[in-house]
């Protein structure tokens, strides 16, 4: 036991590599990221949000492609939802603006400095990013359904998984959106302590779980709903009011109302 108190320099460096990142360091890293997002211009947020909406739609495309070539068996979703992870990998590793990530990053700044000005900045950020995400999802859905950009068999798979998503009621999208928002917020919290392959593995695990568990992610789900609207199977108003809006509320409650609040309660004495 005495030996541990007299480590040489090389051994101390090795110990640092295996030590957990202090929680206050993670909090500050995410808070600074949120503060940076709050200070970005409309144009930067808008185009990053549109890009994220397009990129997250790759999840729907990949999942639909797998669904098109697998039997409709009970085990199939466990495989098809591996495709669901791809869009999230592109968005998160590409540092694009995804609304559900912003349910935690700017909120930490508000907890430390709960002034009306900071709340206004958050509402501005959310409004720009969420609308931009929806525009990107709408464009991606049009390209898949009307643009002839994907083979008919893949389109059939995309529409198949979209119909399954749309079967949920508004209340179900809300309740299913709560754990989805919680999981995305948890993922954002864990990423600063990871690097390289660990970051990739955690993104895959969390987002696969969201898809496999049938949870409602407002941005990825919007692509599915817009695909049905463009295919003439659903009206735009029902898609927005019965699918997008309740999933939005559930994601915010899970990510901000539950995870971020619990996180701040856990860390406030240390920060």
Beta strands in 94-247 (DSSP E): none
Q: Determine the structural domain holding residue 77 and report its residue range.
A: 23-267
Residue 36 · residue 124 · CB < 8 Å: no
Within 10 angstroms of residue 147's Cβ, the number of other Cβ atoms is: 12
Reported as a single tens digit per residue, the pLDDT across 86-131 is 999 999 999 899 998 887 888 877 777 778 888 898 999 999 999 9
pTM, to two decimals: 0.86
Residue 81 · residue 13 · CB < 8 Å: no
Mean pLDDT of 168-172: 97
In whole angstroms, what is the distance from residue 41 CA to residue 213 CA?
36
CATH number of residue 209's parent domain? 1.20.1080.10
CA-based nearest residue to 244, from 183, 167, 138, 173: 173
On whether residue 153 sits in a domain, the answer given is yes
Structurally, the chain folds into a number of domains equal to 1
The sign of the dihedral angle between the CA atoms of 220, 222, 225, 227 is negative
CA-based nearest residue to 253, from 188, 187, 182: 182
In whole angstroms, what is the distance from residue 243 CA to residue 164 CA?
12
Reported as a single tens digit per residue, the pLDDT across 233-257 is 999 999 999 999 999 999 999 988 7
Chain-wide mean pLDDT for the chain? 88
On whether residue 16 sits in a domain, the answer given is no
In whole angstroms, what is the distance from residue 106 CA to residue 108 CA?
6
pLDDT at 217 over 70: yes
Reported as a single tens digit per residue, the pLDDT across 1-18 is 444 445 566 655 554 554
On whether residue 11 sits in a domain, the answer given is no
pLDDT at 222 over 90: yes
């Amino acid at each position: 036991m005495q030996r541990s108190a007299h480590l040489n320099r090389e051994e101390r460096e090795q110990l640092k590599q295996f030590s957990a990142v202090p929680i206050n360091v993670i909090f500050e890293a995410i808070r600074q990221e949120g503060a940076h997002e709050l200070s970005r211009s409309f144009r930067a947020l808008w185009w990053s949000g549109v890009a994220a909406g397009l990129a997250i739609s790759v999840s729907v495309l990949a999942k639909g492609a797998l669904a098109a070539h697998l039997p409709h068996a009970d085990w199939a979703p466990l495989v098809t939802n591996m495709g669901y992870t791809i869009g999230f990998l592109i968005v998160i590793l590409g540092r694009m603006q995804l609304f559900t990530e912003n349910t935690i990053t700017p909120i930490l700044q508000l907890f430390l400095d709960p002034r009306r000005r900071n709340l206004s900045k958050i509402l501005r950020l959310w409004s720009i990013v969420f609308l931009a995400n929806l525009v990107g999802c709408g464009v991606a859905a049009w390209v898949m359904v009307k643009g002839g950009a994907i083979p008919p068999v893949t389109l059939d798979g995309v529409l198949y998984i979209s119909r399954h998503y749309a079967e949920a009621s508004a209340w179900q999208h809300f309740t299913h959106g709560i754990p989805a928002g919680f999981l995305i917020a948890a993922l954002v919290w864990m990423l600063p302590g990871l690097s390289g392959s660990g970051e990739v593995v955690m993104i895959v695990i969390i987002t696969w779980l969201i898809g496999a568990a049938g949870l409602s992610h407002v941005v990825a789900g919007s692509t599915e709903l817009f695909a049905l609207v463009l295919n003439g199977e659903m009206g735009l108003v029902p898609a927005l009011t019965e699918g997008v809006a309740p999933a939005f509320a559930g994601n915010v409650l899970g990510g901000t109302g539950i995870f971020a609040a619990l996180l701040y309660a856990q860390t406030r004495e240390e920060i």
